[in-house]
Amino acid sequence: MAFITYKQLTGKVQTFSQENNLRKSAETSAGKTVFLSHSTKDHTYVPGVIELFRENGASTYVDDGDKRLPSSPDHTTANILKQTIKQCPRFVVLVSPNSYSSRWIPWELGLADAYKTVAPIAVLPIAPTSSEESWAKTEYLGLYPRIVCALEGQSYTYSVYDPRTNQIRWTLNQWLSQSVS
C-alpha cells in the first residue's frame, strides 16, 4: 500500500493532454460524483486527480473556474461550496504539505463529515515519494478512509483503505460508484 506521487498525477495529465478541457469539465457542480477539496498551491496536481477519478467512473467538482463563485471569497462562496458539498455523493481531500496552510480545507471537511459521516469521505495523500507520511501530521485526517495505490506489473491499481477496519475495503471504482458505510 503506497501513496500517490506527484509524478503519477502529472503523468496522468500528460496522457490526457488537454488540461484546460479537463478543468472545464470540473467547473460545475451539476451531477458531479466527487467534491475535491484542495489547496490552491496544489493546482498543478488537480487535473491528474480529476483524470484518476474519470478513469474510475466518477466526475469531479473543483471550485477553480466555477463561474458562480465571486472573484474574492466571501459568504456567497461559502454558501455555494456548502450546497455543492451536500450535493456530491463523495468528498475527497487532496492532502499535501500545502494543505496545512489552507483555511478552507478544514471547514469543507467539517461540513462533509456532518453531512455524510465517514465512509463517503476519503483522504488522498500525495507526496514526492510513495512512502511519505507527512499527511498524518493532522490527527483528524487519520479518521477517514485513504485512497492508496499499488504497482501491479506495469500499471497502478487504486484502492480505498478504511482505518476503521484496518484494511483495504474497496477498489477506487467501487468506492466512487457504490453506497458505502
Give the least confident one: 6-10, 157-161, 172-176: 6-10
For 82, the domain range is 4-177
Name the pTM for this structure: 0.88
Q: Please say whether the beta carbons of 41 and 107 come within 8 A.
A: no
What are 42's three cell numbers? 496544489
In the chain, the amino acid numbered 41 is: K
Q: Is the pLDDT of residue 17 over 50?
A: no
CATH of the domain at 108: 3.40.50.10140
Which of the listed ranges 27-36, 58-67, 135-144 does the model predict with the highest average pLDDT? Answer: 58-67
CA atoms within 13 A on the CB side of 146: 22
pLDDT, averaged across the chain: 85
Q: Percentage of the chain surpassing pLDDT 70?
A: 84
| 98 vs 94 pLDDT, higher one | 94
Q: Please say whether the beta carbons of 96 and 39 come within 8 A.
A: yes
- Specify the number of domains making up the chain: 1
What are 158's three cell numbers? 487504486
